[in-house]
A and B are shown apart, each in its own frame.
Chain A
Amino acid sequence: MAKKKTVRTIPQTRTPMPEQEPAMRARNFSEVACGYSVADAMREADRCLECPDEPCVRGCPVGVDIPGFIRRITARDLRGAYDVLTDTNLLPAVCGRVCPQESQCEGVCTVGDTLEPVAIGRLERYVGDAAIREGWANVPDIEATRFRVGIVGSGPAGMACAADMAKAGCEVTVYEAFHEPGGVLRYGIPDFRLPNEVIDAEIANLKKLGVRFECNTLVGRLFTIEQMIDELGFDAVFVGVGAGYPTMLGIPGDSLNGVLSANELLTRCNLMRARDFPAYDTPLPIGKRVAVVGAGNTAMDAMRVSLRLGAEKVCCVYRRSRTEAPARLEELHHAEQEGVEFHWLTNPVAVLDDGDGSVRALRCVRMELGEPDASGRRRPVAVAGSEFDFECDLVVYAIGTNANPIMGQTSGMKLNERGYIATDDELATSLAGVFAGGDIVTGAATVIQAMGAGRRAARSMKRYLGLRDLDDAASGRTLFGIDLAEHGFARVRVA
């Protein structure tokens, strides 16, 4: 038995992620972070103290058994690590790449109290990638029920819900309006952050569970949610369509050519492959100078995509300071390294016309931070007389999204005052058998939060259908003092 690890005995710094050189990668779409080698992973896994109170597990929106999977990496049991991960997280290769770990598991890591926290996300990705490489997939022994479940939207929320319902023995069909499944993972997050092959592999895993994907299907318009229940024979429906109705700034010049939402820029580039124009038909002229408004993950993606599409200069315009920027820290670093120019405390007030209906410049005003606002962040206030023009030919708005109106237009589901779907704590909507989760309930959030919502909705859905929740049972819950798992009740299903 090895000596007990302490913060003094473990490697003192986190193992750096091998990356493409900034100058080179800023001009290609290959993945920026190349992934840990075996040695890297072993060294980093060794930094986990396996502390008894496991704050990281509580910090994870889906409660991944983090020390459990890291322990198996240390034991060189990658397959075991994959099994532990996929007990709770369907998409380790995706989440390892796109979760904001610094504000979740890594943010509360015990090692992080004294040293840099364990690089949990990188280890998770390491295991996820190994699974894709080796073709591992965990297909549990599924006992079919008579239930049919319809999932609207094939993004992270829908995928997570689909996986859980398929594992519970339901016949699951996922509907997607685009011609390819994956939702925001496909159209939004660029290849250099999340390669298409990773998404394909995760979707293939879902198909192995028996999940069917139907693309080119605009639910609401082709058939309604009510029709899914009443006519198409679905016993339960999950709505995870995302928020996706981009906010425009509402300043003069908004409608000029060359002003577009980050959603449009990213969809053209990622899903429609405008980056390979003219081999692909969708165009995306990027111009020489690009101004991106906003400083969240989507903004970072838009900036880095612009660089790769050949922009000479890309600027970030954000009305608050760097501290308030909502982007994942690593994305912010990467954007800085790649040469994005950041203009903190700068607010756009107008887009200027070149006289021909296109963008000439973005007029901005300097800001300073005042008192904290409702979000707890200091409210930016304009500095009088500080206006200046930033010359550019493309302006990208990455300032968030509103609720997509299609569900509200086409179903009787109750919406809240901002147009998002209203649910109770169990994610049930006002329609019996219909559940909802992800951005269409909460407004724009992260991939892992959407996945968490998909799984929570699946739990409610199983209760609604009268299916014993395997997760609850397997987690060692007791009933009248009897440990269900121990007595073999964990696999009992009430159908």
Chain B
Amino acid sequence: MPDFEIVRREDFSDTTYLLEVRHPLLARAARPGQFVIVMLHEHGERIPLTIADYDREGGTVTLVIQAVGKTTREMQAACRVGTRLHALVGPMGVPTAIGHAKKVVCVGGGLGVAPIFAQARGHKEAGAHVVAVLGFRTRSLVFWEEKFARTCDELILCTNDGSAGLKGLITDGVHEALARHGDIDELVAIGPPVMMKACAEVTRARGIKTTVSVNPIMVDGTGMCGGCRIKVGDQVKFACVDGPDFDGHLVDFDDLMTRLARYKREEREAEERFSASCRMAKLPDFDMLAAVAAEATARGDPPESLDPFEQTLGG
């Protein structure tokens, strides 16, 4: 069995980092739209992360993670090249249906940028004309611009402050894409629920098929606990085995957002305790993290949310 060794790490910003993990079997099985569940250590949580990329020849899968909660910050500090994850299981979820659409808009907001890549490439490989719309808060957070430009036919970059690309919300980028093409078959959106909701509203009026990838709280990821259930139309679906892709016009995003906040208090407590322990322990591996934590504490802004997607503004 693979030992989940981290073979490459890249830091995109203070909070966003990429981990490439060795798992040849998983790299071979992974398809666009699927996710994995990761445990950092024996005492850790199981957290779901969408597969951003995979290298079938090299035998690795790529995860892009935003440090927003205790676990993701701890991973940021502990996951160096050569270290190992405690657990990595997947690929989970139903792969994205690819191959039917001729012209596709792929929208990624903040951390949704990484997971939308696998889908954009999948659609491209299936012969579709792919327009990528990427949204970031500001220029310093932008990553993979090149990678998308190489893979997709068109790239529309937006930042909230206008420091790169279009100035505005990601929906402005979506409007731009729809203005350029009157014959879009499908729009795929990944990002914070509020962003996906906004994108779905834009396409609803025009009757464009819209697929979103949800990322609710999960434990097992195999359909066993029901913690990830969401409302889709008048049905209840389990994101882990029935999704994570769903019809964006049917998903009840308000319900999804409420459920994502379920462990907010516990998460914040864990986060504060973690920051405190980092300051006290002064472990060499945690140096960088301690600095970040101290800075965050000094600013008095403990991260709010459990969902890595939640922290990014994109809509």
> A residues engaging B (CB < 8 A)?
177-179, 187, 214-218, 221-223, 242, 244-246, 248, 250, 254-255, 257-258, 260-261, 263-264, 267-268, 272-273, 277-283, 285, 357, 404-406, 409
Within 8 Å of chain A (Cβ to Cβ): is B266?
Answer: yes
C-alpha spacing A245/B238, complex, angstroms? 9
C-alpha spacing A284/B197, complex, angstroms? 29
B83-119 interface bits toward A, Cβ cutoff 8 Å, 1 = contact, 0 = none: 0001111111010000000000000000000000000
Chain B residue nearest to A405 in the complex (CB) = B241
Q: Is the CB of B87 within 8 A of A244?
A: no
Q: Distance (Å) between the CB of B6 and the closest chain A CB?
A: 16
Q: Is the CB of B224 within 8 A of A283?
A: no
- A255 in complex: contacting residue of B221, B224, B236, B266, CB < 8 Å: B236
Chain A interface mostly? loop
Given A216-B88, A255-B231, A278-B269: A272 and B219 interface contact (C-beta under 8 Å): yes
Q: Distance (Å) between the CB of B225 and the closest chain A CB?
A: 4
Chain B interface mostly? mixed
Q: Is the CB of B45 within 8 A of A267?
A: no
Q: Is the CB of B45 within 8 A of A404?
A: no
Most buried by B among A178, A217, A277: A178
Q: Distance (Å) between the CB of B154 and the closest chain A CB?
A: 33
Q: Is the CB of B270 within 8 A of A281?
A: yes
Inside 8 A of A245's CB, which chain B residues have their CB?
223-224, 226, 238, 241
Q: Of B52-60, B162-170, B181-189, B256-264, which binds chain A?
A: B256-264
- Additional A-B contacts beyond A179-B87, A222-B29 (12; CB < 8 A): A179-B89, A215-B87, A223-B29, A244-B224, A250-B236, A255-B231, A263-B225, A283-B263, A357-B258, A357-B261, A404-B241, A405-B241
Interface size of B in residues (CB-CB distance below 8 Å): 48
Q: Is the CB of B43 within 8 A of A273?
A: yes
Chain B residue nearest to A258 in the complex (CB) = B262
Q: Give 6 A-B contacts (CB < 8 Å), ordered by A residue.
A: A216-B89, A221-B34, A255-B230, A264-B227, A277-B266, A279-B43
C-alpha spacing A214/B1, complex, angstroms? 7
The 9 closest A-B pairs by CB, nearest first: A283-B266, A264-B225, A357-B258, A244-B224, A179-B87, A281-B45, A261-B226, A216-B89, A257-B262
Q: Distance (Å) between the CB of B31 and the closest chain A CB?
A: 10
Q: Is the CB of B89 within 8 A of A257?
A: no
Q: Distance (Å) between the CB of B206 and the closest chain A CB?
A: 29
Total A-B Cβ pairs within 8 A: 131
Inside 8 A of A280's CB, which chain B residues have their CB?
43-44
Which residues from 30 to 84 on chain B have a C-beta closer than 8 Å to any C-beta of chain A? Answer: 34, 39, 43-46, 70-71
Inside 8 A of B25's CB, which chain A residues have their CB?
222-223
Given A254-B236, A272-B46: A263 and B224 interface contact (C-beta under 8 Å): yes
Most buried by B among A221, A244, A254, A255: A221
Chain B residue nearest to A281 in the complex (CB) = B45
C-alpha spacing A221/B35, complex, angstroms? 11
- A267 in complex: contacting residue of B225, B242, B269, B273, CB < 8 Å: B225
C-alpha spacing A272/B37, complex, angstroms? 14
C-alpha spacing A273/B219, complex, angstroms? 12
Q: Is the CB of A285 within 8 A of B265?
A: yes
- A283 in complex: contacting residue of B221, B231, B267, CB < 8 Å: B267
Q: Is the CB of B89 within 8 A of A404?
A: no
Q: Distance (Å) between the CB of A180 and the closest chain B CB?
A: 9
Q: Distance (Å) between the CB of A337 and the closest chain B CB?
A: 29
Q: Is the CB of B226 within 8 A of A264?
A: yes
Inside 8 A of B236's CB, which chain A residues have their CB?
248, 250, 254-255
C-alpha spacing A280/B228, complex, angstroms? 21
Within 8 Å of chain A (Cβ to Cβ): is B295?
Answer: no
Q: Distance (Å) between the CB of A213 and the closest chain B CB?
A: 10
Inside 8 A of B241's CB, which chain A residues have their CB?
245, 404-406, 409
Q: Is the CB of B242 within 8 A of A221?
A: no
Inside 8 A of A263's CB, which chain B residues have their CB?
224-226
Q: Distance (Å) between the CB of B243 and the closest chain A CB?
A: 12
Inside 8 A of B227's CB, which chain A residues have their CB?
260-261, 264
